[in-house]
Amino acid sequence: MRKQMKTLIDRLARGDSLRPAEYEALIAQSDPEVMEYLFSRARKVQLREFGNKVFLRGLIEISSYCTNDCYYCGIRAGNANARRYRLDADQILACCERGYDLGFRTFVLQAGDDPFFSRDVVCGIVRRIKSRWNDCAVTLSLGEKSRDEYEAYFEAGADRYLLRHETANPAHYGRLHPDDMAHESRIRCLHDLKEIGFQVGAGFMVGSPFQTDRHLAEDLQFLAEFKPHMVGIGPFIRHQDTPFRDFPSGPLQKTLVLLAILRLLLPRAMLPATTALGSIDPHGREKGILAGANVVMPNLSPDEAREKYSLYDNKLSTGAEAAGGTRLLREKLAGIGYEIADGRGDWQPRAKEIGSCTTS
């Protein structure tokens, strides 16, 4: 069994993708020796592709209003206890300014699905950020929009877009979302974003309600085919004011196993050690990096906003998780042998892929 698992890991490390049953077997095992083998192979790929560098992104949570009612999420429309706020353009620019001074060169603007942030409002903000700091990347994470709207964001200068697919299995998607949200529409958005030219991030929660190892295998298969530039994964964490309040949090070890498999499957992908991972374990983020993650996204939101952007209970937003805590973050990273990378940290194709682009 152990030998079989190591063979699967070796095949992934060689660039093979696996069959669903093989992913499932790998995800299901919990043999410490196999897991350590997997993490060390993932680290080897991470060090080959990026050295010991970790990329920083400054997360600005621009609105906690949301018209969607995702059953897992604390800022869902149906949560009457949620505290709502939105930042205006000047406040967002002030967050960027602070972030720029702290060394951030990527700003991630994330919100619930808030109609206030219309096409014109978003494009206006993106243009202001890009004209003021032309050495910075702007990432948007604003949910499902029409292709036209995504095109307008791209023309305004947005570089990247994060939209987790949440689960690759349509029936499972249906159990996490109300009927007015459709799996095919989510997937359509991801394809649109990629075709338009964004660096695109997909992703999912580990241990979300009703999830099976087969579903996770389908997630891996979807990601191996879609080839996103970024993949955000983190454990599901319950929120007291949601229909999923009684479900247990997603397991740490399984999240790490999935991160490591993803590092082998998509060697150049930007993989954050997410806030959710840091929130379930005091060393979650460092463990994520040692399993192959290469991005951290400290919070640049104003203090008053942070506690209101409550996607799940006990969400971290202070200490090394806060942008102001970059010194602490540097120390924590140094403790495991890693450093913060300079610059925007764009996704880069491999040398041979660059070659094939220029000749075709």
In the complex, minimum distance from the CB of residue 166 to ligand 5AD, in angstroms, rounded to a whole number = 6
Instruction: Count CB-CB contacts under 10 A for residue 342.
Output: 11
Among 154, 236, 309, 338, binds ligand 5AD (CB under 6 A): 236
Binding mask 187-226 for ligand 5AD (x = CB under 6 A): ------------------x---------------------
In the complex, minimum distance from the CB of residue 301 to ligand 5AD, in angstroms, rounded to a whole number = 13
Give SS3 for 317.
Answer: coil
297 forms part of the interface with ligand 5AD (CB under 6 A): no
Question: What are the residues facing 233 on neighbouring strands?
Answer: 204
66 forms part of the interface with ligand 5AD (CB under 6 A): no
Size of the residue set binding ligand 5AD (CB under 6 A): 12
Window of 217-225, 234-242, 287-295, 347-355 that interacts with ligand 5AD by CB under 6 A: 234-242
Q: Where are the alpha helices (DSSP H) in the chain?
A: 2-13, 20-28, 32-50, 89-101, 119-132, 147-156, 170-176, 183-196, 213-226, 252-265, 275-280, 284-290, 303-306, 326-335, 351-359
What residues from 69 to 128 belong to the interface with ligand 5AD (CB under 6 A)?
Answer: 72-73
Look at the chain and count its residues: 360
Residues 97 and 111: their CA atoms lie apart, in Å, by: 19
Among 312, 316, 317, 321, binds ligand 5AD (CB under 6 A): 312
What are the CA-CA distances from residue 281 to residues 237, 248, 287, 299 (Å)?
12, 15, 9, 18
5, 39 in Cβ contact below 8 A?
no
273 forms part of the interface with ligand 5AD (CB under 6 A): no
Residues at the contact surface with ligand 5AD, assessed by CB under 6 A: 72-73, 164, 166, 205, 234, 236-237, 239, 276, 311-312
